[in-house]
Structure 1
Amino acid sequence: MSKVVVFDHPLIQHKLSIIRDKSTNTKTFRENVNEIGSLVTYEVTRDFEVKEIDIETPITKTKAKVLVKDVVIIPILRAGLGMVDGIQNVIPTAKVGHIGLYRDEETLKPNKYYAKFPIETKQATVLIVDPMLATGNSAIAAIDEVKAYGAKDIRFVGIVGCPEGIKALQEAHPDVDIYIVSIDEKLNEVGYIVPGLGDCGDRLFGTK
């Protein structure tokens, strides 16, 4: 079974409080989601594989370490876009793919309308990014698509989740580790996380 890593860093928790607050405006909400993206990247990448290479400093020759694999970030549209810049601030060489899913409000099932991935995806470490892990259906569908493309090393990176979504994702993809800032209480009857932070996409882009 995959591992679940919950971030308890004080700065991350402070920023989570800001984006939970319904009075937070769009600009501040977007900035803090972006900053959380940067901060969580340090933990997500902690066990990335490195190899030694020979380099020459201004002083002498020495051994240095570099990442073995490329990194590909794949946000689930729309809300996942809010974390991409923050992650790329830490990994500027990362390529970015996109997957578009919309949720049927009656069935809560995701429907794909777009998918485009860098060729490096097949051999890279892939970060599937979505701030919300609610029912888990969108994350599962996105990972299905990426695996079908050929990716094997996949991690899910989010902000707020709930037990139902985590359980569903682990059962569907037990090889995909989950990195998240908070495991909230539950889902409500219409598929929103409680206490959550509302509709992350709408709050990021000011569409409601």
Structure 2
Amino acid sequence: MPDHLTIVDHPLVQHKLTVMREVATPTATFRQLLREISQLLAFEVTRDLDLTTRQIETPLCEMQAPTLAGRDPALISILRAGNGFLDGMLDLIPFARVGFVGLQRDEETLEPMQYYFKVPDRLDERAVIVVDPMLATGHSSAAAIDLLKQNGAKNIRLMCLVAAPEGVAHMHEKHPDVPLVIAALDDHLNEKGYIVPGLGDAGDRMFGTK
């Protein structure tokens, strides 16, 4: 397994992912499971956030207690499916800043086309967590991270639900400094660029648009 890749094999993550893969799982259930699984993955993707200490008073004494250091983290959703991760992550990190990158895949070339970009300021001083449920070719995620780096981001990590080997390889080639946290590494991409076995189009299944 590549050094930059972490697969979260926690039993609850794997169980919830199995239910999400099933074609018969309804939209409301899929959406709720995506929120729940994002919280579980968030524990791993935030594991190395910097800590400092501050003095507090407990009911018994004063102490130097650990607290997150630096500016609030930034959660960056790759539209539209990335939004399914935001609610769960904001439950855990309610003070996080949120940004959005809109990239639409050209169905002929499979290359990403930008249509929206709005992110927090001072990305160079924040831990930046990019979220997108499906890492297929990896082109959209790599392009989004290109844009974030151009806007100053340095401390970046990518969180996905399911990845294809092709996407993992592309991300490592383009951004070897970006750790990748996923729930499953699937088998391959089909001729249309979809992950197999996968779970279909995460955005369509989450929003009920197909």
1:65 and 2:66 are equivalent in the alignment:
yes
1:41 — aligned with what?
Answer: 42
1:11 and 2:12 are equivalent in the alignment:
yes
Worse overlay, 144-153 or 112-121:
112-121
Following TM superposition, by how much is the alpha carbon of 1:2 offset from its aligned partner in structure 2, in angstroms? 5.5
In 2 relative to 1, CA 2–74 (structure 1 residues): closer, same or farther, beyond 3 Å? farther
> Partner letter of residue 198 of structure 1?
G
Please tell me whether the aligned partners of residues 2 and 178 of structure 1 are also in contact (alpha carbons under 8 angstroms).
Answer: no
Residues 40-94 of structure 1 deviation map (CA, whole Å, 9 limit, x = unaligned)? 1111111211011111223321111111132100010000000111111111111
1:152 and 2:154 are equivalent in the alignment:
yes
Worse overlay, 77-86 or 58-67:
58-67
Structure 2 Cα separation of the partners of residues 10 and 145 of structure 1: 35
Instruction: Provide the secondary structure at the position in 2 that maps to 1:58.
Output: coil
Unaligned runs of 5+ in 2: none
Following TM superposition, by how much is the alpha carbon of 1:204 offset from its aligned partner in structure 2, in angstroms? 0.6
Following TM superposition, by how much is the alpha carbon of 1:124 offset from its aligned partner in structure 2, in angstroms? 0.5
Instruction: Provide the secondary structure at the position in 2 that maps to 1:27.
Output: helix
TM-score by length of 1: 0.97
Please tell me whether the aligned partners of residues 8 and 181 of structure 1 are also in contact (alpha carbons under 8 angstroms).
Answer: yes
Structure 1 Cα separation of the partners of residues 149 and 91 of structure 2: 26
TM-score by length of 2: 0.97
In 2 relative to 1, CA 172–2 (structure 1 residues): closer, same or farther, beyond 3 Å? farther
1:204 corresponds, among 173, 181, 206, to 206
1:181 — aligned with what?
Answer: 183
Unaligned runs of 5+ in 1: none
Tell me the C-alpha RMSD between the 2 structures. 1.0
> Partner letter of residue 133 of structure 1?
L
Structure 1 Cα separation of the partners of residues 132 and 145 of structure 2: 12
Q: Sequence identity of aligned pairs in percent?
A: 51
Instruction: Provide the secondary structure at the position in 2 that maps to 1:29.
Output: helix
Please tell me whether the aligned partners of residues 73 and 97 of structure 1 are also in contact (alpha carbons under 8 angstroms).
Answer: yes
2:170 — aligned with what?
Answer: 168
> Partner letter of residue 185 of structure 2?
I
Number of aligned residue pairs: 208
1:53 — aligned with what?
Answer: 54
2:28 — aligned with what?
Answer: 27
Please tell me whether the aligned partners of residues 12 and 181 of structure 1 are also in contact (alpha carbons under 8 angstroms).
Answer: yes
Structure 2 Cα separation of the partners of residues 120 and 62 of structure 1: 31
Structure 2 Cα separation of the partners of residues 24 and 166 of structure 1: 27
Please tell me whether the aligned partners of residues 122 and 152 of structure 2 are also in contact (alpha carbons under 8 angstroms).
Answer: no
Worse overlay, 121-130 or 103-112:
121-130
2:145 — aligned with what?
Answer: 143
Structure 2 Cα separation of the partners of residues 58 and 74 of structure 1: 38
Structure 2 Cα separation of the partners of residues 99 and 122 of structure 1: 17
> Partner letter of residue 143 of structure 2?
A
2:121 — aligned with what?
Answer: 119
Residues 4-55 of structure 1 deviation map (CA, whole Å, 9 limit, x = unaligned)? 0001000000100011000011000000011110111111111211011111
Worse overlay, 1-10 or 64-73:
1-10
Instruction: Provide the secondary structure at the position in 1 that maps to 2:206.
Output: helix
